[in-house]
């Protein structure tokens, strides 16, 4: 019996962000890891990409904006994990201006 792997929805801005990152010397990108893994200067960064901020003004999380598993990662993951919604946020975390 063959099983199809459920492919998660890709946010509209993810492909453009991946393309832009791949143009930067020294940056590697591996998509499809909820959402992307980015390698830079010997470090691995894990980014969840959203189309817009999942937070209300004041910092409270919008209801349903993140899955329970993503909230758990934010609160418990000891490596890098960040929710972003634009390329500039990723570049800032990588230390690229």
Centroid of chain to Cα 35: 5
User: pLDDT tens digits for 64-81?
Assistant: 999 999 999 999 999 999
Q: 83: closest CA among 40, 52, 39, 38?
A: 52
Q: What is the pLDDT of residue 8?
A: 62
pTM (two decimals): 0.85
Q: 48: closest CA among 61, 60, 66?
A: 66
Q: What is the pLDDT of residue 7?
A: 54
Residues whose CB falls within 8 Å of the CB of residue 34, separated by 6 or more in sequence, listed in order:
8, 46, 48, 70
| Cβ atoms of 46 and 82 closer than 8 Å | yes
In this prediction, residue 34 has a pLDDT band, given cuts at 50, 70 and 90, of: confident
């Amino acid at each position: 019996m063959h099983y199809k792997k459920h492919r998660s929805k890709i946010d509209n801005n993810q492909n453009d962000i991946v393309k832009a990152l791949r143009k930067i010397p020294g940056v590697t990108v591996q998509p499809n890891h909820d959402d992307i893994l980015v390698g830079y200067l010997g470090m691995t960064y894990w980014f969840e990409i959203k189309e817009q901020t999942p937070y209300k003004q004041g910092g409270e999380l919008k209801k349903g904006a993140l899955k329970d598993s993503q909230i758990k990662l934010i609160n418990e993951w000891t490596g890098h994990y960040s929710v972003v919604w634009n390329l500039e946020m990723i570049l800032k975390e990588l230390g690229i201006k």
